[in-house]
């Protein structure tokens, strides 16, 4: 009954932490492609190939359902995977859907015409690859009208977080928020479009101001997954063991993950 969680690095641990709290009886297999992180500076074809390889590895662990806890993979690879690669008995879900649902206040299966929503000015903070894909804007346009989205590519933030340099990460966050505000002085809401960014949510909020509603993904994904599994219990795979896999150095990744979650995490080689 295992479910796979995939990320290019450690940011997906924020999602893993949330889904584990929400679904304590489900064993989760986490795969971090740390050897190739970050994905945010790679081209779409490269991201697609790496993501397919990682998802296949999670299928080997008995995970018929895999969550791409990586916005770059969700933006650059998911649609292509679903259209031309995914077997009929497997499912791969991204992290955009719960965010779009929360912002537009409508369920993903609601295929009625786009309509106006309360929030009109949205700041999107994401990796360069996610921003370049325009995937968030495309999905939002299917469901809402009159929403102005200003995207800011946050170069360097993921690298700083992965390296454990939170002082640099905070400085970069403030710099990117300043750059965004020069383009959109008064955003009403902000999307943290990378699963690393919840680790800096206080810094984003402080830089943006208390009046800006900040949407972070981990808890939204957890609730969405719980609802999906209630509707599709057959997608719980045959795997029974929770584990952490990495393409990087297991010892180094374990130490960094332990700092992330503030509990001991032991990765093994993928």
Decide: 248 and 32 in contact? Cβ < 8 Å. yes
* Catalytic residue status for 70: yes
30 is in an annotated binding site: no
Question: Residue 72 annotated as binding?
Answer: yes
CB neighbourhood size of 100 (10 A): 18
7 annotated among ligand-binding-site residues: yes
**Residue 196 labeled ligand binder:** yes
52, 63, 154, 194: which one is catalytic? 194
Q: How far apart are CA 257 and CA 121, in angstroms?
A: 35
Dihedral sign, CA of 137, 140, 144, 147? negative
- 154 catalytic? Reply is no
Specify binding-site residues: 7-8, 39-40, 71-72, 195-196
| Annotated binding-site ranges for substrate | 7-8, 39-40, 71-72, 195-196
Which of the residues are catalytic? Answer: 70, 194
């Amino acid at each position: 009954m295992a479910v796979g969680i995939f990320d290019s690095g450690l940011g997906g641990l924020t999602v893993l932490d949330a889904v584990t709290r929400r679904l304590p009886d489900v064993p989760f297999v986490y795969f971090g492609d740390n050897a190739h992180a970050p994905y945010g500076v790679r081209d779409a074809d490269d991201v697609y190939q790496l993501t397919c390889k990682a998802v296949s590895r999670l299928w080997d662990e008995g995970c018929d359902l895999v969550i791409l806890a990586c916005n770059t993979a969700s933006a650059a690879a998911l649609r292509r995977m679903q259209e031309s690669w995914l077997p009929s008995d497997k499912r791969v879900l991204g992290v955009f859907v719960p965010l779009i649902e929360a912002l537009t206040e409508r369920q993903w299966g609601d295929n009625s015409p786009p309509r106006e929503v309360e929030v009109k000015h949205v700041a999107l903070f994401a990796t360069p690859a996610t921003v370049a894909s325009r995937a968030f804007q495309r999905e939002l346009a299917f469901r809402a009208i009159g929403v102005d989205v200003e995207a800011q590519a946050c170069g360097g933030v993921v690298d700083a977080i992965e390296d454990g340099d939170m002082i640099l990460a905070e400085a970069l966050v403030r710099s990117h928020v300043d750059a965004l505000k020069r383009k959109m002085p008064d955003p009403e809401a902000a999307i943290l479009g990378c699963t690393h960014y919840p680790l800096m949510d206080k810094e984003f909020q402080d830089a943006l101001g208390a009046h800006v509603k900040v949407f972070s993904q981990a808890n939204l994904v957890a609730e969405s997954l719980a609802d999906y599994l209630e509707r599709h219990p057959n997608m719980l795979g045959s795997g029974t063991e929770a584990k952490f896999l990495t393409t990087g150095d297991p010892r180094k990744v374990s130490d960094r993950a332990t700092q992330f979650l503030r509990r001991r995490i032991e990765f093994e080689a993928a």
